[in-house]
């Protein structure tokens, strides 16, 4: 298998969004016909290139690939969804909606079509409607953590922090060992002034992901802020924050120190400018 095909397979595996690279890799394969070396995977490659073409605004290329796929898989609901996508990209949302509705009518468990409908509403700026649809979807598919993540994202876009936090809680229930979601939860809570929860969650991040720089920045920021509020500020300033279950002052100071040490250690890999600024920041 050619190295281009191997790379394309890697990108499919990681599901990263790298449309420009995908098109660059695929162009010679398509032109020279060597794409057929992919064997049975060739249809996955076609689909991958289709999606990249849509992302890069290359509608004509996308349409050409679609014709190839349609010839091989006529009547396929999977290909039908791709027709929906190309219509969205070409600015015909009405057409897309019709296609997605047809897919769902034929099979109400087709989650990809349901998600496309939410995505379309979002693209049209109809956020309240998108949220409503996604909430209905999650009523049925409560285990779809990606759905909960997207809902959190939609809520954050509307600055509905408490609702976003709830969604991330659902994600954490489904994926408790993934530090990324604890990080998101910590940052939402920090933004809401819930410093006690933020600190706890940032500590969970560095527990799950050794020497996580963002995590330790969060630990230092939060511990120092709590210390400042508790030691230096009048009671009335503290009222804006949730400080119910914060550790003792001694513990907070040790946590801040630990974070400082780990950050200094991590920054030995940074360039001089960043390292100097970090050192200065740690002192302030």
Partner 1 sequence: MPEYVVSSQAYAKAILHCAKYPWAAVQGLLLGEKKEGKFRLTDAVPLSHNWTQLTPMFDVAFQQVQIYAKSKNLVVAGFYVANEDPESVQLSASSSLLAQTIVSINPEAIAFAINAKNFKTSQSSQPALVAFSFVDSQWKEQTAAFSGSAGKGSAKNAAIFTLENNQALTTARILVEERAEVGIFDFDEHLENVSLDWLQNSALNERIRTA
| Residue selected from 3, 14, 15, 271 as contacting partner 1 according to rule CB under 8 A | 271
CA pair distance 75, 113, nearest whole angstrom: 16
Among 222, 223, 229, 262, binds partner 1 (CB under 8 A): 222
Nearer to partner 1, 110 or 256 (CB): 256
Check residue 73 for interaction with partner 1 (CB under 8 A).
Answer: no
Whole-angstrom distance, CA of residue 169 vs CA of residue 147: 13
Sequence-distant (6+) residues with CB within 8 A of 245 are: 196, 200
DSSP state of 248: P
Of 35 and 149, nearer to partner 1 (C-beta) is 149
How many CA atoms are closer than 13 Å to the CA of 18, on its beta-carbon side?
15
Q: Kindly state whether residue 214 participates in binding partner 1, applying the rule CB under 8 A.
A: yes
Q: Which is nearer to partner 1, 141 or 267 (CB)?
A: 267
Q: What is the smallest separation between the CB atom of 161 and partner 1, expressed in angstroms?
A: 8
Q: 29, 198, 223, 259: which one contacts partner 1 (CB under 8 A)?
A: 198
Closest to partner 1 by CB, 80 or 122: 122
Segment lying near partner 1 (by CB under 8 A), choices 84-92, 101-109, 212-220, 242-250: 212-220
Q: State the maximum Cα–Cα separation within the chain, in Å, rounded to a whole number.
A: 73
218 binds partner 1 (CB under 8 A): yes
Work out whether 243 is an interface residue with partner 1 (CB under 8 A): no
Distance in angstroms (rounded) separating the CA atoms of residues 238 and 75: 63
Q: Does 43 bind partner 1 (CB under 8 A)?
A: no
Separation between Cα atoms, residue 237 and residue 223, nearest integer Å = 16
Is residue 106 within 8 Å of residue 129, measured between CB atoms? Answer: no
149 binds partner 1 (CB under 8 A): no
Chain residues 162-191 in contact with partner 1, contact rule CB under 8 A = 184, 186-188, 190-191
């Amino acid at each position: 298998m050619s190295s281009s095909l191997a790379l394309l397979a890697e990108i499919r595996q990681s599901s990263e969004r790298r449309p420009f690279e995908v098109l660059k890799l695929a162009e010679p394969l398509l032109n020279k016909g060597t794409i057929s070396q992919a064997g049975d995977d060739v249809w996955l490659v076609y689909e991958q290139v289709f999606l990249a073409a849509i992302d890069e605004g290359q509608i004509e290329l996308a349409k050409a690939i679609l014709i190839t796929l349609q010839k091989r898989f006529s009547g396929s609901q999977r290909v039908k969804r791709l027709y929906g996508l190309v219509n969205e990209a070409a600015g015909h949302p009405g057409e897309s909606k019709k296609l997605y509705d047809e897919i769902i009518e034929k099979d109400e468990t087709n989650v990809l079509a349901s998600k496309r409908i939410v995505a379309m509403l979002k693209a049209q700026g109809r956020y309240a409607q998108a949220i409503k649809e996604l909430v209905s979807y999650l009523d049925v598919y409560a285990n779809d953590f990606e759905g909960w993540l997207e809902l959190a994202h939609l809520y954050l876009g509307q600055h509905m922090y408490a609702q976003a936090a709830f969604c991330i809680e659902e994600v954490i229930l489904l994926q408790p060992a993934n530090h990324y979601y604890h990080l998101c939860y910590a940052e939402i809570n920090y933004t809401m002034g819930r410093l006690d929860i933020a600190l706890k969650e940032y500590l969970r991040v560095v527990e799950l992901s050794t020497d996580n720089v963002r995590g330790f920045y969060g630990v230092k920021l939060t511990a120092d802020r709590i210390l400042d509020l508790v030691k230096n500020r009048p009671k009335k300033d503290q009222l804006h924050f949730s400080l119910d279950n914060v550790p003792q002052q001694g513990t907070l100071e040790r946590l801040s120190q630990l974070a400082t040490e780990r950050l200094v250690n991590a920054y030995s890999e940074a360039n001089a400018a960043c390292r100097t600024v970090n050192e200065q920041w740690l002192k302030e």
